[in-house]
Amino acid sequence: MKISFVKYGLPSTGIVVVTAVSDGKLSESAAKLDKKTGGALTRAVRGSRFEGKKGQTLNVIAPAGTRLDRVMLVGLGKAKDMTVLEMQKLGGRIYAGTLQAKKGLVVVALDAVTDAKLSAAEMASEIAFGANLRSYRFDKYKTKLKPENKPNIKTLRIACTGFANARKKYGSLAKIADGVFFTRDLVSEPPNILYPDTLAKQAKTLEKLGIKVQIFGESQMRRLGMGALLGVGQGSVRESRLVVMQWNGGPKGRGKIAQPIAFVGKGVTFDTGGISIKPSAGMEDMKWDMGGSGVVIGLMKALAGRKAKVNVVGVVGLVENMPGGNAQRPGDIVTSMSGQTIEVLNTDAEGRLVLADALHYTKERFKPKFMVNLATLTGAIIVSLGSHHAGLFSNNDQLSERLTRAGEDVEERLWRLPLSDAYDKMINSQIADMQNIGGRGAGSITAAQFLQRFVGKIPWAHLDIAGVTWSKSDEPTVPKGGTAFGVRLLDRLVSNNYEN
């Protein structure tokens, strides 16, 4: 779908979207159309429950006195309701309500709203962003789609005052959407197509944006001592990979690259549970157990795409967790890159083993200002928070607060859970430095305590995104399927706090 911004005005054909505020008061554009159609919009409002509240829509088909196919009247609510997030949701609703546009063109005639905090241009750019996010589809493997099952909308045109400013602002938002779409694509791919090597190659494509990408094979990781990560993948015929991505968009100090910030992702491209095998029901969902790595890769694309003025490192550990003659066994002891030994009591608690080596590697090589890791780590976080928040664990209050604020800004919400010595003791092992599970209770917390043992004193946060990586229903800006939860959140974290 092409999105464009044009000079304020009303179209003569196709579908036009106009607005109303609370109490059903029509915007200037809507009022002009109402007059042209002999009061058709006013009659439609009187004959319906439409009151101009946010989220409300009303359609008038082929109004008399025009050549328009349809007028879509959308509610903005009260002026104070017209936030960035509400405009994005409005854009998503406009797309969903007009995707079968017969002529392929939808025009939004957008008027400024008195007392609103957003200008017409700001509203326009956010509406466009929301519509773009909602337009995502993953149908590359559908070979018999009927025309009526495909979106017909080809162009979304937004007419407003200050359209040049809207176009400029949307330029950066479009790059963020590119990162979101990349993540959604990766998470949606089937596991016979996306496995450690092919996922690493997808990350490699980011080099065209100026990102430096290094891919480590098993022999290199073995020399580095990554016994925890390699142990997870040893039952698979697919070789494991570690991918390191560097975007150096920030300032240099005395000819050197300034200290970076770092994001680390779990990339289990398929998780059977290994020898501690999962139940068969729902196992197909485990193709998106690489969601954390997908977010990190998509985030790097978004940051490089919009030329973020910051130095960022993205590291993802990529494995496939399979049963087999050489698979890791419950009871095995592995030695991590840090030198700490781990007793593997459950091979389905594998993501933390991958992250242990990835976090230690990132800490030792880059010595970043902070590290944030993302992982679809525990089913326990779904029991705790469902699909409405991701779990947040951190050793640093400032980083935790900044992450929480960024999540609120983009409506990818986090909820902080505790870390303490009492929980840490639950993963002590009798025969190794630690064990990879801590018992029946507090499963998400003990997983986070495990990770904390590999980060040292560096400010660090762990986001458990198991409940928010995949959606079974449509939301205004997130169609069902892969959500890319975390890309916009972390992009906002960077833009709010770390760009110079």
Where do the domains of the chain lie?
A: 2-174, 194-497
Q: Which of 70, 184, 352, 402 is catalytic?
A: 352
Closest CA to 349 of 454, 428, 222, 231: 231
pLDDT above 90: residue 24: no
**DSSP assignment of 93-149, as one string?**
HHHHHHTT-TTSEEEEE----TT-SS-HHHHHHHHHHHHHHHT----TT-S---GGG
Tokens matching residue 410: 């983009």
The band of 500, judged by pLDDT with boundaries at 50, 70 and 90, is confident
254 is catalytic: no
Percent of the chain residues topping a pLDDT of 90: 95
In this prediction, residues 352-371 reach a mean pLDDT of 98
Instruction: Write down the architecture of domain 194-497 according to CATH.
Output: 3-Layer(aba) Sandwich (3.40)
pLDDT at 254: 60
Q: Which of 35, 36, 78, 278 is catalytic?
A: 278
How far apart CA 110 and CA 129 sit, in angstroms, is 15
pLDDT above 70: residue 256: no
Q: Please, are residues 294 and 317 in contact by the beta-carbon 8 Å criterion?
A: no
What is the fold, at CATH topology level, of the domain defined by 2-174? Answer: Leucine Aminopeptidase, subunit E; domain 1 (3.40.220)
**Weakest mean pLDDT among 143-157, 285-299, 479-493:** 143-157
In this prediction, residues 155-178 reach a mean pLDDT of 97
In this prediction, residues 342-362 reach a mean pLDDT of 98
Q: Note whether 2-174 and 194-497 share their fold.
A: no
pLDDT at 146: 87
The band of 253, judged by pLDDT with boundaries at 50, 70 and 90, is low
Closest CA to 447 of 484, 393, 405: 393
In this prediction, residues 424-443 reach a mean pLDDT of 97
How far apart CA 9 and CA 16 sit, in angstroms, is 11
278 is catalytic: yes
pLDDT at 22: 92
- Please write the tens of the pLDDT for every residue from 91-118: 999 999 999 898 899 999 999 999 999 9
The band of 252, judged by pLDDT with boundaries at 50, 70 and 90, is confident
